[in-house]
Structure 1
Amino acid sequence: MTASGTYAVYHGAEYAVRASGRGYVLLDLSGVGRGAFADEDLLGQTAGARDDRVKIKESALERLLAREVSATWRGAEVYLEGLADAEHVWYYTNAGPAWAAANGAKGSQHDGWRGSTPLAELTHVRVEEKDLPVRRDG
């Protein structure tokens, strides 16, 4: 299962994008493995360089996309924000205060509600993807 967010495809592998800027993307390698990155695509060390991310040229990407993953949980539409572990997801919803109180969600009716739930309890999972432009001018 995947979560909502921005993703990049590089040499056939898909990575979550942690950050991006003019001409670069910072790819999340956690849970994916380092993979093979061409030297000419790398943009050097990032601040606080870590082994779970790599900064590469945006022009090296095959695809850049925005993904929204939603589902139904206990009668409310929830948006999957990330994996808490292999069997649970973090979610966000605009459901009302009564629903939030009954289901242990944290937040407010103004900012929305957040929490986690077992994957097995989700129904009607929907995935929508939108291609984003990739800067090719280096």
Structure 2
Amino acid sequence: MAGWTKTPLWFRTLAVLLILWGAMGVFAWVQHMRLGAEAMGPATVYDRGLYASLPGWYDWVYLIAVGAGLVGAAMLLLGSALARPMFAASLIGVVVMFGWMFLATDIIAVKGVPLATGFPVVIFAIAVLQLWLAGMAVRRGWIG
């Protein structure tokens, strides 16, 4: 736990919040696998068709995105520089997932920009924040 005593309280608090965020992401993946299109609530005919059209690799990329994010957050709290590559893997997973969704499907045309992109933009921003935070923590000697 490199630099734990000199790590600010806000940083440790944020790491705990990121662990909770990551746990919610893993739970969402479990629900996605367990419930399919109904994972986010009652599904429309479009939602069911979209879910059925997901390529086989999509579920694995989703798991990498959320799993690496959760592990990265735990590594951040534990003071390990492994947080940085975990967050990088998570960010790559997020980009691949949503990149495919927006480029290979008609979800934006069907649901509209705000509904189709709102939460994915938040997810992307948090993934970028996590990677930046880990890099800053390494530079400041808080993790290593």
TM-score, length of structure 1 as denominator length:
0.24
Q: Which has the higher strand share?
A: 1
Query: TM-score normalized by structure 2?
Result: 0.23
Of structures 1 and 2, the one with the larger relative CO (CA 8 A, separation 6+) is 2
